[in-house]
Amino acid sequence: MRANRLLGASLVERGLVSIEALDAANERFLELLSNASGELRLSLLSILINEKESVQEGRLMEHLVEEEGLGIIDVRNMEVPEELVSATDRAECWATWSVPFDLVEDTRYIATAYYMSPAVRAFWEQKVSGNIVWFAAPLETITDYLETQEAEEAKAAMVAS
């Protein structure tokens, strides 16, 4: 919830979304939240991009590269080390729309769709020791990666039983 709120404020502050568009997206987010049961995978950013069409994800990625100095990555194409996959809490990844995808010495590489949310960056900075190198990632790539990990885990559990 906080990650979404701070992301929205950052998008407005940077002129990427109007306050009216953010208000409309927040209303929709709260509507979906009130109707949701169980595991939540709601994203204010997804509503802004896909439902309200208030910002184009390409424009957002362009801003992250040009103004924030991030690289863009598609984690679906990454071979994430197994020890990193098993040590990562998928619920935290869904909550922050972020995926740790590599670890080299004391530096962790994290792909995120929510870089502009200070709450997301603070969460990971407090959670992991060492340095973090951030990469921007489209929502779809984060979703596909996490869903693939869940499917592989479910398949392994079925084989084991």
- One-letter identity of residue 128: V
3-state secondary structure of 107: strand
**Residue after which a domain boundary falls, among 48, 66, 84:** 66
* 21 and 61 assigned to the same domain: yes
**Which residues constitute the domain of residue 10?**
2-66
CA atoms within a 13 Å half-sphere pointing along the CA-CB vector of 109:
18
Residue with tokens 């184009």: 56
Q: How confident is the model at residue 36 (pLDDT cuts 50, 70, 90)?
A: confident
Considering the domain architecture, whether residues 87 and 156 belong to the same structural domain is answered as: yes
CA distance 131 to 76: 23
Alpha carbon 156 to its chain centroid, in Å, reads 25
Query: Domain total for the chain?
Result: 2
Two tokens at 93? Answer: 């990844």
CA distance 102 to 154: 23
Same structural domain, 39 and 82: no
Q: Where are the beta strands (DSSP E) in the chain?
A: 71-72, 98-104, 107-112, 131-136
Percentage of the residues of the chain whose pLDDT score is greater than 70: 98
Query: If you ran DSSP here, which 8-state letter would residue 136 be given?
Result: E
Residue 23 and residue 136 in contact, taking contact as beta carbons nearer than 8 Å = no
Domain identity same for 31 and 103: no
Quote the tokens at residue 12. Answer: 């407005």
pTM: 0.93
Q: What is the pLDDT of residues 107-155, one digit of tens each?
A: 999 999 999 999 999 999 999 999 999 999 999 999 999 999 999 999 9
Q: Are 115 and 121 in contact (CB under 8 A)?
A: yes
CATH of the domain at 88: 3.30.300.160
Whether 120 and 54 share a structural domain = no
Residue 31: exposed, middle, or buried by beta-carbon count in 10 A (0-12, 13-18, 19+)? exposed
The answer to whether residues 135 and 79 belong to one domain is yes
Do residues 78 and 100 both lie within one domain?
Answer: yes
Say if residue 88 is in the same domain as residue 149: yes
Q: At 40, is the pLDDT very low, low, confident or very high (cuts 50, 70, 90)?
A: low
Tokens of 100: 């740790």
Q: Using 50, 70 and 90 to split pLDDT, how confident is the model at 41? A: confident
Pairing of strands 71-72, 131-136: parallel
